Amino acid sequence: MIKIFIKLFLSFIMISNSFSMQNEITLVGESRYALGENESLEDARLICRNDALQNMGSNIMMLPPEAIKIRCFLDEMSDITLVQETLNQNLLYLKYEAKILTSALFGKCAVE
Amino acid sequence: MINPILNRLKNNSGMALTASTMFIFIVLSIMAFYLARFAILDSASAANYIQNIRARNLVQTGLQVGLLKIENSYSSLGSAISGKLNKGSYNVLVDNNKDEKNSNLKYNHYSLLKSSSEIGGISRSARLIVSSYPNAFNLALFSKNQGNGTFSSNSSNSISGDLFFNGAISSVSMASNSVAYSSVESSSSPIVFHGFPLPSLPTLDHSTYTTLLNSVTGQFNSSNSSGQSGTSSRTVWNPNGGHCNVCKDDGDSNNRYACTNGYGGWSNSHSFNDFVPSGSTVNKITIRFKGATPCGGTWNIAPSVNGQVINSESWYGSRCSCNSCAVKDVVSANHTNGFPSYKYGASNSLTFSHSGARTCIGYVQVIIAHSASSTPGVGENETINLSNYSNKTLMHDGDLTLTGCNITGPGYVLASGNIIISGNTSIGGGVKIFSKKSIEINGSSTIGSSLTSYCTLYGTLGLNIKGSKAFGLFISSGSLLSLTNSTISGAVFSEASENTLSNITLNGSIVTKNNLSLTSSSIIKNSLPDLFGVNTGFKPSIIPGSYLEF
C-alpha cells in the first residue's frame, strides 16, 4: 500500500514538474562590466548580475522591453543560474539564465 | 427311197408357217436381247443413282461439319478437315479469297466453305458463302429501331446498297439497284416491305471486351519525361518585426521575426508562385519554420497548401529569447503521382492553422522535392510500339489522352476511363482500342490503313469520331455514336440510343440498335475487314442463297 502511494506521489510530482516546465520560459541575460581601480570583484559581480537580470527583459522576443513591468518581472524570476563568467583583464562578463511563468510574464508583468 | 424325200422337198406346203415362226423367233430373240440389256443398264443406273444420293448426303454432311467448326472457331478451318462416313469420305475447307470457279469473292469478309465427297466412285462438291459478320452486315444499313422512330434520309444523303429499317421510312434516297426494305407491310415504292422473317439485330458477346477491360491495372507513363528531379526551396514569408534579432542573417532571413500573438506582424495566410522546374512533378512538400522555439509550451501547427494539409506537428520549447535560432519542419507524405492540389505554373496559397504556446518565427520556407516525370495517362508526340508492352497491351487505369502519337501494333490499348486521341495521331493496323467509358478521336487522326490493316474500337459508353480517316470495326455499346466529318471504311455496330452521322463517307456497313440520323452522308455497301480467325464477339453467318452443288 505504501509502495503504491509512493509511486502515485512520484508520478504526481513528475507530471507536475512537466506541467510547470511547459508553463515556464527560459530567460537569458548577459552583462559586461569594467572594474574600477578600487572596486572589488564581488561588488562588480553584483552590479553585473543585476544588469544581466534586467537585460533578460530585453531578450524576450514575444514582448518589446517597454511592454514588461521590470519590477514584477524580476520578482517573478526563479531558478536564476550563472551560465558563464569570464574576467578578461578588468572586463567582467556574466551570463545568467532564469525561468519565469508564462502566465506571469504575459499576465501581471505585461503592460496593459 | 430317194424319191419320197425329193418329193417332200419339192412340196412347198408349210413354208409360210415355218418362215413366220422363224421370223417371230428372231424378233423375240432380239427383243429379249435388248430387254436384257435394258435391265442391266437400269440396274446400273439405279446403283449410280443411289451412290449419287449418298455422295450428296455426304457432301452436305461435310458442309455441316464445316459450319459447326466455324460457329465456334472461325479459324479452325484454316486447314482442310477430312472425315469418313458410310463407306465414303468428305473433305471440307475454307477459302478466304476465291470461289469454286477460282474467281475472287465479292467482298473481303466473305469466305468460301467448300465440301467435297466421294463414295463408291461417285464424287460430289458443294459450297456455301459465309460471312465473318452476322447477316445484318450484308446490308449497307440495318436499324432495329428499338425506339420505334421513323427513318428519314433526305437527298443530301446517298445510300448505295440495300438497307433495312425496322419501322416506317418517311423519305430515303437510294442509289440504283439498291432497295430500301421496311418492316411495314403497307410500304409503297420506293420502299419495299421486307417480308417475313425480318432480319434480326446481331448479338454481340460483350464479354470479349469487358473481360479485358476489367483486367486493366496500372498507369500509362509517357516515355517523354520532362522536368527535373531534385529539391527546390523558396522563402515565402520573411517577417520584419520584433525588437531584436532572431536567427542570423543566412541570406534567407532578415534577422527579424513575427510572433503568433501578433507582435511583429504575424499572418496566417501567404502565397507563393510555383517555383519547381517546368514539367516536374511535386512529390513532397516541407514547410520549414525557422525562429525561436515556442515560449514555454507546445505549439501545434498544421500548414496547408491550397487547402491540402501538409501535416500536423507539435513543437515544444521554452526559449523564445533573442538570437535564439531553431528549426521546425512539417513534412508531407510522398506523392509519387504529384502532390494533390499543387498548382503548376500558378500561385499557390500557404495557410497556417495553429494553437498552443506562443511562438516567434524568423522566416518560413517551402521546400519541394520534385521528380522528372510525365503526367500519367498522357502521351504527346511520341511513338508507342505496343510490342514493347507486356502482352502487347498498353493499360491505363483512368482517362487516357494521346495527342500526336504514332501507335504501332499489333496489340491492345485499354483504359478504364475515357480515351481521347487527337492531333494527327496515327494508329497502325492490328491495334485494338477498348475503353470502359468513351472513345473520342479527332484532330485528323488516322486509324488503320486498309481493310487488311485495320483497327478495332470498342467504347463501352460511346464512340465519337471527328475529322478522321478510319479502317476497321467500330463498336459503341453506350449512349452515343457520333461520326462527323470522317471517312470510315469497315463495319460500324452501335447499341447506342443516339446515332448521328454527319458529313460521313462510310464504305462498308452500319448496324444500329436504334434509329439514326444522317446528314450529308454517304453509305456505300462495301467490303468489311475480314475477321477470319478473330474473336470479335460476333458470330459468322451464311449468305442467303449461296448454296451450290457443282
Residue A39 pLDDT: 86
Sort out which chain B residues have CB atoms less than 8 A from A26's CB and list them. Answer: 318-319, 321
Cα–Cα distance for residue pair B531/B505, rounded to 1 Å: 22
Residue in chain A nearest B256 by alpha carbon: A61
Q: Determine the residue among A28, A62, A97, A111 to mutate to test chain B binding: the one whose Cβ has the most chain B Cβ atoms within 10 Å.
A: A62
Domain range for residue A54? 25-105
Residue A45 sits in a domain whose CATH number is 3.30.1660.40
Cis peptide before B197 (omega within 30 of 0): yes
Co-location of B65 and B120 in the same domain: yes
pLDDT value for A16: 44
Instruction: Specify the residue for cell string 521590470.
Output: A70
- Same domain, residue pair B381 and B364: no
What amino acid occupies position B484?
T
**A14: pLDDT strictly greater than 60:** no
Query: Is B83 in the same domain as B189?
Result: no
C-alpha B401/C-alpha B378 separation (Å) is: 5
> Is the model more confident about B342 or about B280?
B342
Return the minimum-mean-pLDDT range out of B100-109, B271-280, B390-399, B530-539.
B530-539
For residue B538, is it within any domain?
Answer: no
A74 touches chain B (CB under 8 A): no
Question: How large is the ipTM?
Answer: 0.75
Residues of chain B above pLDDT 70, percent: 96
Tell me phi and psi for residue A11, to 5 degrees.
-60, -45
- In this prediction, residue A5 carries a pLDDT of 54
Tell me, what's the pLDDT at B225? Answer: 64
Q: Is residue B383 part of a domain?
A: yes
A-chain CB neighbours of B259 within 8 Å are 61-62
CB B270 within 8 A of CB B237: yes
Decide: helix, strand or coil at residue B536. Answer: coil
Instruction: Please give the average per-residue pLDDT across B280-297, as a whole number.
Output: 91
Residue appearing with cell numbers 512539417: B330
Residue A13: is its pLDDT beyond 50? no
Instruction: List pLDDT tens digits, range B85-117.
Output: 878 899 998 888 888 888 998 888 888 999 999
Number of domains in chain B: 3
pLDDT at position A11 is 53
Annotate B54-69 with DSSP letters as a single string: HHHHHHHHHHHHHHHH
Q: What's the alpha-carbon Rg for chain A, to the nearest Å?
A: 18
C-alpha cell at position B119 = 463414295
Residue of A nearest to B243 (CA): A64
What's the half-sphere exposure (Cβ side, CA atoms, 13 Å) at A110? 13
DSSP state of B198: P
Mean pLDDT taken over chain B: 89
B chain contacts of residue A27, beta-carbon cutoff 8 Å: 321
Between B393 and B68, whose confidence is greater? B393
Q: Does A103 touch chain B (CB under 8 A)?
A: no
Let me know if residue B117 belongs to a domain: yes
Residue B155 scores a pLDDT above 90: no
Using a CB-CB cut-off of 8 Å, the residues of chain A touching B243 are: 58, 64-65
Predicted local distance difference test score (pLDDT) of residue A91: 93
Structurally, chain A folds into a number of domains equal to 1
pLDDT exceeds 60 at position B66: yes
B407 close to B428: Cβ distance less than 8 angstroms: yes
Contact present, A27 and A105 (Cβ < 8 Å): no
Q: Which domain holds residue B49?
A: 15-132
Confidence of residue A111 (pLDDT cuts 50, 70, 90): confident
| Whether B66 contacts B79, CB under 8 Å | no
In a domain, B195, yes or no: yes
Residue B305: CATH number of its domain: 2.60.120.260
B10 found inside a domain: no
CA count, 13 A, side-chain hemisphere, B477: 19
- Tell whether B356 lies on the interface with A, counting CB pairs under 8 A: no
Average pLDDT over residues A7-32: 63
| Listed residue (A51, A105, A110) closest to A77, CA to CA | A105
Q: Which residues of B379-403 are buried (b: 16+ CB within 10 A; e: fewer)?
A: bbeeebebeeeeebebbbbbbbbbb
Task: Report the gap between the CA of A9 and the closest CA in chain B (Å).
Answer: 24
Contact B427, B403 (CB under 8 A): no
Which of B86, B114, B132 is at the close of a domain? B132
Q: How far apart are CA B59 and CA B118, in angstroms?
A: 8
- Cβ contact, residue pair B321, A28, below 8 Å: yes
* Residue B240 distance to chain A (closest CA, Å): 13
The verdict on residue A78 lying in a domain is: yes
pLDDT top residue among B228 and A22 = B228
Residue B266 confidence (pLDDT) above 90: yes
> Does the pLDDT at position B279 exceed 80?
no
Cell 507536475: give the residue. Answer: A16
Confidence (pLDDT) at B173: 85
A109 vs B: CB within 8 A: no
Query: Is pLDDT at B139 greater than 50 in this prediction?
Result: yes
Chain A residues closer than 8 Å to B316 by CB = 22
What is the chain A residue with the closest CA to B319? A26
Tell me if B506 is assigned to some domain: yes
E-assigned strands of B358-454?
Answer: 360-372, 378-380, 383-385, 393-396, 400-403, 406-408, 411-415, 419-422, 426-427, 431-435, 438-441, 446-447
Whether residue B501 sits in one domain with residue B383: yes
Nearest to B305 by CA among B258, B269, B252: B269
CA distance B323 to chain A (A): 8
Residue B358 forms contact with A (CB below 8 Å): yes
Angle CA(B88)–CA(B91)–CA(B95) in degrees, nearest 5? 160
- Please check whether residue B150 is in contact with residue B159, taking contact to mean a CB–CB distance below 8 angstroms: no
Q: What integer pLDDT is reported at residue B28 of this predicted model?
A: 92
